[in-house]
Amino acid sequence: MNESKRQDLLARMRGMQKNVDTGRALRAQVSESRSQIGFDDLPEYKQVMMQKRASEELAMANPFYRAHEGASGAVAQIEGRELDNFASYDYLGLNHDPRILAAANETIGQFGISASASRVVAGERTIHAELESSLSDIYRSEAAVVFVSGYLTNVTTISTLMGPKDLVIHDEFMHNSGLTGVKLSGANRRFFKHNDMADLERILMTLGPQHERILVVSEGIFSMDGDVADLPGLVALKKKYNFWLMMDEAHSLGVLGEKGCGSFEHFGIDPSEVDIWMGTLSKTACSCGGYIAGSQALITLLKAQAGGFVYSVGLAPVLAASAIESLKVLRQEPERVRNLRRNSQVFLEHARGLGLDTGLSEGFSVVPVIVADSLRAVQASNELFEAGVNALPIIYPAVPEGLARLRFFITAAHDEAQIRRTVEKVVAILTRLKEQNFGFSSMDVQKVLMQLASR
Ligand code: PMP
């Protein structure tokens, strides 16, 4: 190599080194400035804090995260007081039941608390198979599998089955867990208007042919509105367009149907018409966790491929035991389902009779009272709390602003007097808030937020 070539090469190497150094310096600068970004600098955090300060500015107590001092059911102990409680999923009133507590205690004695690790590596506990078999009995399905959370069940099932070439169409009121599952799957997503089969069919006709797999997801009883999905309509469309149908029965198990088997029993439909039965163990089953029931192939696939099963710890045996025992009570005491239905109907009819807006509710376990703006819903919930009732507001963004509500979960354990006096308290509070013109248009709220932002 001659001298000029050598000098040229050295110069190029120095240039390259300089580029590397500049890159390093830039990266250091970037990461230095990145390390200066605290979580409290994030716009998302600022928004949360601004909302918090806005409610302080408006002198409103926070109705969320109140600490309960005992096992809640139809009554709850909060701040040393006993309140009529309408904020519990314990639909069959089993949270205090001695049989459930005994089964749980016995299982702790046998298995301890933890399932140790993922069932893949830690091995099964006999109690898992027992729970899965009681769930397949309900759906008359080939198999079932349980997961550690209901939320996770939707996320991991949908994201395992669907991918970018596929289409998921769901009711617009679908729970957030389903939505997260679809996002994670990378599938195309469309919603159909709430319970509107014509809208669903329009989407199936226009978009169906361009996709490989199609999954339609709906809920037995809708968690925010308390109405029932049009399962016969969904099954009829499934026959015509050949999609997979998934039903989230979180709020329907133990609630719909004479024996509480859920929406298929309610409509007298063969459960095999639905490909994926999903549900949670946190409501009727008085435990924690989620499940899928369906064909053996579906369950085998999920047990092998669903991240939320393979890479997550097995359901704690004690939770499996509580769920098994609760499902046993459901089988043995169908009168609990009847009591739940009667209580829900009493609530709905009394509320409607006194002029409350109960939205779409059909009077099966979930009854909302629509209050209009979010702040009025919060104020009403706080005043109810003072008057001895625990019922929480559902506010924007969980529901659209203008449709904020108080949501009442009715259970088999409530009694009629409790229900009637609660409805009457709601009427008195909402009437007074209306007379005082209490409440804020979204313009008012915007103004407060802007004032806070400018400080
Ligand atoms: N699906 C629906 C319809 C729900 O309402 C919920 C929450 N209650 C879930 C899934 C998630 O269930 P879990 O709270 O048991 O995780």
User: Residue 4 — pLDDT band, cuts 50, 70, 90?
Assistant: low
| Of 61 and 227, more confident | 227
- Would the pLDDT of 223 be above 80? yes
35-44, 65-74, 411-420: range with highest mean pLDDT: 411-420
**Is the beta carbon of 248 within 6 A of some atom in ligand 1?**
yes
The rounded percent of the chain whose pLDDT value lies above 90 is: 80
**Is the beta carbon of 283 within 6 A of some atom in ligand 1?**
no
Cβ atoms of 91 and 254 within 8 Å: the answer is yes
Of 152, 179, 223, 280, best ligand 1 pocket probe by most atoms within 8 Å of the beta carbon: 280
- Would the pLDDT of 214 be above 80? yes
CA distances to 74, 254, 331, 339 from 91, in Å: 10, 7, 14, 10
- Would the pLDDT of 17 be above 80? no
- Would the pLDDT of 20 be above 60? no
CA 63 to mean position of chain CA atoms: 19
Give me the sheet containing 366-372, strands edge to edge: 366-372, 404-409, 392-394
Q: Which of 163-177, 189-203, 361-375 has the lowest mean pLDDT?
A: 361-375
Q: Does domain 98-332 have CATH number 3.40.190.170?
A: no
User: Residue 447 — pLDDT band, cuts 50, 70, 90?
Assistant: low
- Would the pLDDT of 260 be above 60? yes
- Would the pLDDT of 14 be above 70? no
- Would the pLDDT of 15 be above 80? no
Mean pLDDT of the chain: 91
Euclidean distance between CA atoms 124 and 435, whole angstroms: 60
The rounded percent of the chain whose pLDDT value lies above 70 is: 89
For 241, counting Cβ atoms within 10 Å of its Cβ (0-12 exposed, 13-18 middle, 19+ buried), the class is: middle
- Would the pLDDT of 397 be above 90? no
If you measure from the C-alpha of residue 280 to the centroid of ligand 1, how many angstroms do you get, rounded to a whole number?
A: 6
Of 149, 151, 173, best ligand 1 pocket probe by most atoms within 8 Å of the beta carbon: 151
Question: Which atom of ligand 1 lies at the shortest distance from residue 152's CA?
Answer: 16
Nearest CA to ligand 1 atom 15: 150
pLDDT (average), residues 20-46: 74
Cβ atoms of 368 and 225 within 8 Å: the answer is yes
* Domains in the chain: boundaries: 55-85+334-445, 98-332
4-13, 82-91, 442-451: range with highest mean pLDDT: 82-91
- Would the pLDDT of 19 be above 80? no
**Is the beta carbon of 150 within 6 A of some atom in ligand 1?**
yes
List the structure tokens of 390: 């625990």
Of 148, 223, 365, best ligand 1 pocket probe by most atoms within 8 Å of the beta carbon: 223
If you measure from the C-alpha of residue 7 to the centroid of ligand 1, how many angstroms do you get, rounded to a whole number?
A: 70
Cβ atoms of 329 and 94 within 8 Å: the answer is yes
Fold of the CATH domain 55-85+334-445: Aspartate Aminotransferase, domain 1 (3.90.1150)
pLDDT per residue over 65-84, tens digit each?
Answer: 999 999 999 999 999 999 99
Euclidean distance between CA atoms 212 and 210, whole angstroms: 7
- pLDDT of 11: 59
SS3 track for the chain? CCHHHHHHHHHHHHHHHHHHHHHHHHHHHHHHHHHCCCHHHCHHHHHHHHHHHHHHHCCCCCCCCCCECCCCCCEEEECCEEEEECCCCCCCCCCCCHHHHHHHHHHHHHHCCCCCCEHHHHCCCHHHHHHHHHHHHHHCCCEEEEECCHHHHHHHHHHHHCCCCCEEEEECCCCHHHHHHHHHHCCEEEEECCCCHHHHHHHHHHHHHHCCCEEEEEECECCCCCCECCHHHHHHHHHHHCCEEEEECCCCCCCCCCCCCCHHHHHCCCHHHCCEEEEECCCCCCCCCEEEEECHHHHHHHHHHCHHHHCCECCCHHHHHHHHHHHHHHHHCCHHHHHHHHHHHHHHHHHHHCCCCCCCCCCCCEEEEEEECHHHHHHHHHHHHHCCEECEEECCCCCCCCCEEEEEECCCCCCHHHHHHHHHHHHHHHHHHHHCCCCCCHHHHHHHHHHHHCC
Nearest CA to ligand 1 atom 8: 250
**Phi, psi (degrees; rounded to nearest 5) at 322:** -60, -40
- pLDDT of 16: 54
pLDDT per residue over 79-119, tens digit each?
Answer: 999 999 999 999 999 999 999 999 999 999 999 999 999 99
**Is the beta carbon of 275 within 6 A of some atom in ligand 1?**
no
Beta bridge partners of 146: 291
- pLDDT of 448: 59
Of 282, 315, 392, best ligand 1 pocket probe by most atoms within 8 Å of the beta carbon: 282
- Would the pLDDT of 52 be above 90? no
188-192 and 214-219 strand pairing: unpaired
- pLDDT of 435: 86
Amino acid symbol at 146: V
Q: Is the pTM of this model over 0.85?
A: yes
**Is the beta carbon of 151 within 6 A of some atom in ligand 1?**
yes
